[in-house]
């Protein structure tokens, strides 16, 4: 029965005109299609955000460069930051979550499929709204301009007097709309994970990816909502003449900082926890061992979730909080290092004594471990308030958080791409090209972001559009920009590999990695209903149990 249905679907899909098939993608409520839409949408914005970063790096390659004007430079760093956080990293992680969670917990779709579609389109239109500012920023009568207030848009720079025109409004509305999308996705993730698990899958038998996305979704609920509220206040200030952040009428610019960072810091963990989830699924499979310390991993994730809600003001050590406030945020920030360290040891413990296969997904995970560790260590350095006073708003900070977001999260995302690409497309990627991608991107990443720390220590502030020669910054900026070339080359290889494999890749089969979670028990790509028969699981590695009936996991768990 099941195979007949699949065959029928295939025939239907191949014969219908392309318009109908595209129409399917627009009206779809299938979590797999929506997941792929999220990912493709994020990849488009990754290229746009990358171009913006490249423009900035070309401008800074030598002192007194005139590649772009200061105004354009301001727009570039604002759009780069906003795009990469809200319209690349979040949607790409939501995309993988949307695609994988129902498959991994053995169900046929998300809890609210239509809400799922609504969330995606809200996020998508939020991004379009932001980019429409390039055309409509001055209200269409001028040449138009994009927001230039920085990605955290401190007051009073966002007040009407200092940001005339509509560019800042597009920024606010874009984030407001995509914020509603994120909240919808988070509601869906939590409900799906709590209410839709297949028979036998207790919380303690859930794949770590589902656990970590559950924690991530909880953090989105508690962290993105404050941003939504703050954006409403900013809109009230700009449109209705309110005084929330208007110091002349008694309002407070520092309040905006608090509201923004109450969102902004947990957001970092919202982004990194799904990256942890990828690592926790990939490392065991390529080490041929079950994850080390599953309950501790879950506990550490929940712990990170809690502690990271109370660290936000470490972004604000220089605004003049009391010494008690400073001390509190120093301590909480340092405490986050403990559960994070536990995770790193658990991943190493998983690899220890395993038969490690150095395929592309695993290479990216191993690089993640090193780079994430270094990013965490510079984070501990910056969490010490006196050190922070010296280095805040310098290139050291820029290097630190790019180490986290590129060296940590983006590497994990690339690993996830290679790991689940066979499942999503039904075809294998080219391992040779993937290795080229890895080594090129690794070289580029380290050239750019290792050397970016140094001008920061030498005093180069972030967000300057040019600098004087003779301060010892030139050579470092030159190296940093050269690294970009390698990164671009790596990404081009990646895109070429994806496209080539989609057309010419070998058939992957349902389980190319000999993996253990439920998504590998169905065909690649999975049929619309995911599973012909809803699976029953007895352990954390249901496919291991099926493949090794003589020695199943449930005997030991």
Partner 1 sequence: MSSAAITRPSIEPDLVLPSRGRVGMFTLIAAETAIFTIFVVAYIFYIGKSVSGPLPEDVLELPIFNTVCLLSSSLTIHLAVKALRNAKVGAFGLSWFVTIALGVTFLVGTGREWQRLIFEKGLTISTNLFGTTYYSLVGLHAFHVTVGLILLAIGMVFALLGKVKQEHSERAEIFSLYWHFVDTVWVIVFTVVYVIGR
Among the residue ranges 41-49, 217-225, 382-390, 443-451, the one whose residues contact partner 1 (CB under 8 A): 217-225
> Is 202 an interacting residue with respect to partner 1 (CB under 8 A)?
yes
- For the segment 531-550, give every residue that binds partner 1 (CB under 8 A): 536, 538
Instruction: Compose the 71-110 pattern: x for residues touching partner 1 by CB under 8 A, - for all others.
Output: ----------------------------------------
DSSP string, 2-21: HHHHHHHHHHHHHHS-HHHH
Q: Phi, psi at residue 199, to the nearest 5°?
A: -60, 130
Would you tell me how many other CB atoms lie within 10 Å of the CB of residue 293? 16
With CB under 8 A as the contact rule, the residue among 2, 8, 135, 194 that binds partner 1 is: 194
DSSP string, 134-188: HHHTTTTSSS-----STTTT-TTTTSTTTS-SSHHHHHHHHHHHHHHHHHHHHHH
User: Three-state DSSP class for 536?
Assistant: strand
Q: How far is the CB of 420 from partner 1 (least distance, A)?
A: 26
Smaller CB separation from partner 1, 79 or 104: 104
DSSP string, 204-238: GGS-HHHHHHHHHHHHHHHHHHHHHHHHHHHHHHH
Smaller CB separation from partner 1, 84 or 176: 176
Smaller CB separation from partner 1, 225 or 443: 225
Beta-bridge mates of residue 199: 536
Smaller CB separation from partner 1, 256 or 451: 256
Cα separation, 521 vs 107, in Å, equals 12
With CB under 8 A as the contact rule, the residue among 93, 122, 130, 183 that binds partner 1 is: 183
Smaller CB separation from partner 1, 265 or 453: 265
Q: How far is the CB of 174 from partner 1 (least distance, A)?
A: 18
With CB under 8 A as the contact rule, the residue among 70, 142, 164, 241 that binds partner 1 is: 241
Cα separation, 10 vs 33, in Å, equals 16
Q: How far is the CB of 309 from partner 1 (least distance, A)?
A: 10
Q: How far is the CB of 242 from partner 1 (least distance, A)?
A: 4
Question: 138: which residues sit within 8 A by CB, 6+ positions away?
Answer: 144, 145, 165, 166, 167
> Is 152 an interacting residue with respect to partner 1 (CB under 8 A)?
no
> Is 154 an interacting residue with respect to partner 1 (CB under 8 A)?
no
**550: exposed, middle or buried (Cβ count in 10 Å: 0-12, 13-18, 19+):** exposed
List of residues contacting partner 1 (CB under 8 A):
111-112, 183, 186-188, 190-191, 194-197, 199-202, 221-226, 228-230, 232-233, 236-237, 240-244, 249-252, 255, 259, 262, 536, 538, 554
């Amino acid at each position: 029965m099941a195979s007949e249905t699949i065959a029928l679907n295939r025939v239907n899909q191949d014969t219908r005109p392309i318009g109908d098939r595209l129409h399917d993608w627009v009206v779809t409520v299938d979590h797999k299609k929506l997941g792929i839409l999220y990912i493709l949408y994020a990849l488009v914005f990754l290229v746009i955000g990358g171009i913006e970063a490249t423009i900035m790096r070309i401008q800074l390659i030598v002192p007194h460069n005139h590649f772009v004007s200061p105004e354009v430079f301001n727009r570039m760093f604002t759009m780069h930051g906003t795009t990469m956080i809200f319209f690349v990293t979040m949607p790409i992680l939501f995309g993988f979550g949307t695609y994988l969670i129902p498959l991994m917990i053995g169900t046929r779709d998300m809890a609210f499929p239509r809400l799922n579609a609504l969330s995606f389109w809200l996020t998508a239109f939020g991004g379009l709204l932001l980019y429409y500012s390039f055309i409509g920023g001055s209200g269409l009568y001028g040449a138009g301009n994009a927001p230039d207030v920085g990605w955290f848009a401190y007051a009073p720079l966002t007040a009407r007097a200092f940001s005339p025109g509509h560019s800042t409004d597009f920024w606010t509305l874009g984030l407001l709309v995509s914020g509603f999308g994120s909240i919808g996705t988070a509601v869906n993730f939590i409900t799906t994970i709590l209410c839709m698990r297949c028979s036998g899958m207790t919380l303690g038998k859930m794949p770590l990816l589902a656990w970590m996305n559950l924690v991530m979704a909880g953090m989105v609920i508690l962290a993105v909502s404050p941003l939504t509220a703050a954006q409403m206040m900013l809109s009230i200030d700009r449109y209705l003449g309110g005084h929330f952040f208007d110091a002349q009428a008694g309002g407070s610019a520092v309040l905006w900082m608090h509201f923004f960072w109450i969102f902004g810091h947990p957001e970092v963990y919202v982004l990194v926890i799904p990256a942890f989830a990828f690592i926790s699924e990939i490392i065991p499979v390529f080490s041929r061992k079950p994850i080390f310390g599953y309950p501790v991993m879950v506990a550490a994730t929940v712990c990170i979730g809690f502690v990271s809600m109370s660290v936000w003001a470490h972004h604000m050590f220089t605004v003049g909080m009391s010494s008690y406030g400073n001390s509190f945020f120093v301590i909480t920030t340092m405490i986050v290092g403990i559960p994070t360290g536990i995770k790193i040891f658990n991943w190493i413990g998983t690899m220890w004594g395993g038969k490690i296969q150095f395929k592309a997904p695993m290479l990216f995970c191993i690089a993640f471990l090193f780079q994430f560790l270094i990013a965490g260590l510079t984070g501990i350095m910056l969490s010490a308030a006196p050190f922070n006073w010296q280095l805040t708003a310098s290139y050291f900070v820029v290097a630190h958080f790019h180490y986290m977001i590129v060296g940590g999260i983006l590497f994990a995302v690339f690993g996830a791409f290679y790991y689940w690409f066979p499942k999503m497309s039904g075809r294998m990627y080219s391992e040779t090209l993937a290795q080229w991608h890895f080594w090129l991107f690794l070289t580029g990443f380290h050239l750019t972001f290792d050397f970016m720390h140094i001008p920061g220590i030498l005093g180069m502030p972030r967000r300057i559009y040019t600098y004087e020669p003779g301060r010892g910054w030139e050579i470092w900026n030159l190296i940093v920009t050269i690294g970009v070339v390698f990164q671009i080359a790596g990404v081009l290889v990646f895109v070429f590999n994806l496209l080539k494999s989609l057309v010419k890749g070998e058939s992957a089969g349902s389980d190319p990695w000999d993996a253990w979670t439920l998504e590998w028990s169905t065909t690649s790509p999975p049929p619309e209903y995911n599973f012909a028969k809803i699976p029953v699981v007895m352990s954390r590695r249901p496919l291991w149990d099926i493949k090794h009936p003589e020695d199943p996991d449930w005997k030991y768990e």
